[in-house]
Amino acid sequence: MQQAAAPPANQDAAAAGDAPPKQVAQALEQLGQAGRLIADVRLGADRLLEALFYVAEEPHHQHSAKCLNLILKEESLMRQHLQNLSAIGRQLEESGVLNDSLRSRSNSWGLHMPLVCPDGAVVAYAWKRQLAGQAGASAVDRTRLALKAFTDQKRRFFPHLAEDSVVESAMKKHCSPLPISQEELADQKTLADILSHLEKEVANLQAFTYQRLDWSKRASSLPSAANESSTDSSKEHSFPSTSKWVQGSVSTHAPDKAAVIELLLPSVFRAVVSLHTAGSMDPDAVAFFSPDEGGSYLHARGFSLHHVFRHVSEHASMALQYFTCANPETALHSLLHWVCSYQTLFMKVCSKCGKLLSMDKQSGLILPPLKRPFRYYTAGRKSAKSSTTENCSMDLIKAFHISCFSEEA
């Protein structure tokens, strides 16, 4: 029987960097160990009961002292087994096997592992071939699982690939909904320029930049619904060190070391964009949150507590990928502009069905139109209208429900 003592700490560190098959093999081994421990506990319990019955029936038997010793010994063994079991349970929890957290980890390959087929067979590996090789699942199930795995990974790593590439080439001549003139683009060379221009263009928008650590401090200090008391009428919690274009309360480095951009539209959304390296203009992640949310989970790769913002974040990630691939130089500019089109998130009806709320068939949730087209949204094209109509041109951006949205839009 394998000794199930607590494994060394370096095993966990190694596990984090391992490829999924190894992680899965380790998880299965741990599950096996857990199974053996549970069997030991059962046996121990049986022995204890037996000994107790024996002693109870014949309390003055010559062997009763021996039985008592047996009971004590068994009890300490059981205790050991249970402790080992809980240690393994903790490891399994950390590696994400016992709960759903594997899905949200950055090195997740998008699949729930281990997978248990309807007939009880355990699918250890997630690769298409191995799924096909599993005897337990039916052909339909195997195909379905493989297809799901493949589309999940494709959506995650190649979001800019069109579902229907034929239609995409035909629509390339379509005009972008929000053209930005060449002159304006030339003016907006630095991040500060872009943000100040954006603030002028979009009413009520507040834009801030931060260093990474400063942002996480700010995020944690934001009032959240959990710790908000009803007598707290001052909703504006001023973070003393947050002034525009200056990060940190102590350091006085130049604004071009910004790593996190916050776009706050009060009562509508708070968008967080992270830049690939501090001071660069390359966005690498974006996420949306409710302006009332607060906590350390508020960052460019975090997930909002609300379904609507989670879906918007997912769509925004795809937009980010598209902008980065289409024109890396203007990616940030396009992205920030596009993010601002969500100022109408709770007000603009769907351009296809004309309603504000609709039940999304896939998730079973009632959501507003949270998709905004990004595909042909390019900055740097000559504007047909003058720049004074910029404000109303934001209204021209269409909005769609999840099911109403199609790539042709």
In the complex with other proteins, the residue whose CB is nearer, 142 or 348, is 348
Question: Is residue 368 part of the contact set for other proteins (CB under 8 A)?
Answer: yes
The residue type of 169 is S
Among 221, 243, 267, 391, interactor with other proteins by CB under 8 A = 267
Among 121, 353, 365, 396, interactor with other proteins by CB under 8 A = 365
Residues 6+ apart with CB under 8 A from 59: none
Question: Is residue 340 part of the contact set for other proteins (CB under 8 A)?
Answer: no
On the question of a cis peptide bond just before residue 20, with omega within 30 degrees of 0, the verdict is no
Among 309, 322, 374, 400, interactor with other proteins by CB under 8 A = 309
Segment interacting with other proteins (CB under 8 A) among 108-116, 163-171, 211-219, 363-371: 363-371
Segment interacting with other proteins (CB under 8 A) among 1-9, 46-54, 131-139, 306-314: 306-314
SS3 content of the chain, % helix, strand, coil (to 5): 45, 10, 45
Question: Is residue 138 part of the contact set for other proteins (CB under 8 A)?
Answer: no
Among 92, 146, 195, 367, interactor with other proteins by CB under 8 A = 367
In the complex with other proteins, the residue whose CB is nearer, 133 or 266, is 266
User: Minimum Å distance from CB 189 to other proteins?
Assistant: 34
Tokens 């708070």 appear where? 270
Segment interacting with other proteins (CB under 8 A) among 27-35, 185-193, 354-362, 378-386: 354-362
Question: Is residue 308 part of the contact set for other proteins (CB under 8 A)?
Answer: yes
Question: Is residue 291 part of the contact set for other proteins (CB under 8 A)?
Answer: yes
Q: For residue 150, is it left (φ>0), alpha (ψ between -120 and 50) or beta?
A: alpha
Q: How far apart are the first and last CA of the chain?
A: 62
Of 141-200, binders to other proteins (CB under 8 A) are: none
In the complex with other proteins, the residue whose CB is nearer, 104 or 204, is 204
The residue type of 221 is S
Of 221-240, binders to other proteins (CB under 8 A) are: 225, 228, 230-231, 233, 235
Question: Is residue 306 part of the contact set for other proteins (CB under 8 A)?
Answer: yes
> Over the Cα atoms of the chain, what is R_g?
29
In the complex with other proteins, the residue whose CB is nearer, 142 or 311, is 311
On the question of a cis peptide bond just before residue 266, with omega within 30 degrees of 0, the verdict is no
Segment interacting with other proteins (CB under 8 A) among 49-57, 87-95, 265-273, 373-381: 265-273
Beta bridge partners, 122, equal 116
- CB distance 291 to 266 below 8 Å: yes
Cα 264 → chain centroid = 20
User: Minimum Å distance from CB 1 to other proteins?
Assistant: 44
Among 85, 178, 268, 331, interactor with other proteins by CB under 8 A = 268
Among 127, 239, 303, 346, interactor with other proteins by CB under 8 A = 346
User: Minimum Å distance from CB 80 to other proteins?
Assistant: 40
Among 10, 135, 364, 388, interactor with other proteins by CB under 8 A = 364
Question: Is residue 292 part of the contact set for other proteins (CB under 8 A)?
Answer: yes
CA 28, CA 24: separation in Å to the nearest integer? 6
Which residue from 1, 74, 71 is spatially nearest to 35, judged by alpha carbons? Answer: 1
Question: Is residue 263 part of the contact set for other proteins (CB under 8 A)?
Answer: no
Q: Where are the beta strands (DSSP E) in 87-237?
A: 115-116, 122-123, 206-210
- CB distance 399 to 357 below 8 Å: no
Identify the three-state secondary structure at position 10. helix
Identify the three-state secondary structure at position 354. coil
How many alpha carbons fall within 13 Å on the CB side of residue 209?
Answer: 25
Residues 6+ apart with CB under 8 A from 259: 210, 211, 212, 215, 274, 275, 277, 278, 279
In the complex with other proteins, the residue whose CB is nearer, 288 or 377, is 288
Among 5, 39, 116, 347, interactor with other proteins by CB under 8 A = 347
Which residue from 287, 343, 276 is spatially nearest to 316, judged by alpha carbons? Answer: 287
The contact set with other proteins (CB under 8 A) reads 225, 228, 230-231, 233, 235, 266-268, 290-292, 305-309, 346-347, 355-357, 359, 363-368
